[in-house]
């Protein structure tokens, strides 16, 4: 199967309300992230229909491949890769290294505390086996004779990982969906909500990302193996 686009995102959760779009903050961000060619900008965060949107800082590369979004309760670091030729070089390792460096810079500047982590990847593939549906679900008699051309399958597992020596409950969520001419694979791996005592440092995030990438590889290998066997 050929990848036509990919998206990698790490999110850290905490209290980031104090980060403003003041000239001083934007200058600090400019200097801190110039090696990545990230340019400070702003966006409107919609909290609720009853509350006016709040202006938040963001950083973007010119080609929009990299983005950092600073919400009131979450920071997203995202890399997008699009290739119309259908060939994408695997960049997960470099994403991990750069994302950790970017998070460390945010820690150095603002002295944040992180309470939760999530890692999300999305891939869209072409030239996939059209019968992959029957590998993941036992269809009813009607759909056995009339195989769906659009469908979605979602699975969630709850596991315990050791993160820097501490046992942590982790959700592993995968969603596989077909949209006529492409197969979309979404993987969301996250620590459970409710952690108000354990503050996560960069070593914990590094350990989490390492295990998340290994889990992602296992899930994708299962899919590719099933696809080849059909």
Q: What is the pLDDT of residues 75-88, one digit of tens each?
A: 999 998 766 554 44
Where do we find the tokens 């944040």? Answer: 112
* Domain count of the fold of the chain: 1
Residue 117 belongs to a domain: yes
Residue 94 belongs to a domain: yes
Residue 101 belongs to a domain: yes
How high is the pLDDT of residue 131?
A: 65
Residue 178 belongs to a domain: yes
Residues 6+ apart with CB under 8 A from 87: 2, 3
- pLDDT top residue among 131 and 226: 131
Residue (of 17, 11, 70) closest to 40 by Cα position: 70
Residue (of 230, 227, 118, 119) closest to 176 by Cα position: 227
Residue 41 belongs to a domain: no
Asked if residues 127 and 2 have their Cβ atoms less than 8 Å apart, the reply is yes
How high is the pLDDT of residue 28?
A: 94
Residue 219 belongs to a domain: yes
**What pLDDT, in 10s, does the model give residues 159-190?**
999 987 888 899 999 998 887 777 889 999 99
How high is the pLDDT of residue 39?
A: 93
- pLDDT top residue among 133 and 118: 118
Residue 190 belongs to a domain: yes
Cα dihedral 202→206→207→211 (10° resolution):
150
Asked if residues 68 and 50 have their Cβ atoms less than 8 Å apart, the reply is no
DSSP state of 65: S
**Across the strands, what pairs with 82?**
5
Residue 67 belongs to a domain: no
Residues 6+ apart with CB under 8 A from 198: 115, 166, 168
Mean pLDDT check: name the lowest of 31-40, 58-67, 117-126. Answer: 117-126
Please give the Cα distance from 112 to 207 (Å, whole number): 19
Please give the Cα distance from 224 to 212 (Å, whole number): 18
Q: What is the mean pLDDT of residues 125-153?
A: 77
DSSP state of 127: S
Residue (of 90, 226, 212, 84) closest to 159 by Cα position: 212
- pLDDT top residue among 146 and 129: 146
**What pLDDT, in 10s, does the model give residues 189-229?**
999 876 555 667 888 999 999 999 999 989 888 776 554 44
- What's the domain range around 9? 2-16+73-229
How high is the pLDDT of residue 128?
A: 64
How high is the pLDDT of residue 69?
A: 96
Residue (of 68, 80, 14, 19) closest to 41 by Cα position: 68
């Amino acid at each position: 199967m050929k990848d036509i686009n990919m998206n990698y995102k790490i999110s850290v959760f905490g209290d980031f309300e104090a980060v403003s779009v003041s000239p001083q903050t934007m200058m600090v961000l400019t200097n801190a992230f110039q090696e990545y060619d990230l340019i400070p900008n702003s966006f409107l965060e919609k909290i609720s229909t009853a509350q006016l949107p709040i202006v938040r800082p963001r950083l973007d590369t010119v080609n929009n491949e990299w983005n950092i979004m600073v919400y009131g309760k979450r920071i997203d670091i995202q890399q997008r890769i699009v290739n119309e030729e259908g060939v994408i070089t695997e960049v997960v390792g470099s994403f991990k290294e750069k994302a950790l460096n970017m998070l460390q810079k945010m820690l150095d500047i603002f002295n944040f505390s992180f309470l939760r982590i999530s890692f999300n990847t999305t891939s869209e593939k072409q030239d996939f086996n059209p019968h992959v549906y029957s590998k993941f679900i036992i269809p009813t008699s009607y759909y056995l004779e009339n195989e769906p051309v659009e469908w979605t399958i979602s699975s969630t597992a709850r596991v315990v990982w050791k993160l820097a020596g501490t046992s942590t409950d982790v959700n592993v969520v995968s969603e596989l969906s077909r949209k006529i001419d492409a197969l979309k694979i979404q993987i969301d791996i996250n620590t459970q909500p409710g952690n108000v005592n354990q503050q996560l440092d960069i070593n914990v995030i590094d350990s989490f990302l390492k295990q998340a990438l290994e889990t992602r590889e296992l899930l994708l290998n299962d899919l590719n193996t099933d696809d080849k066997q059909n």
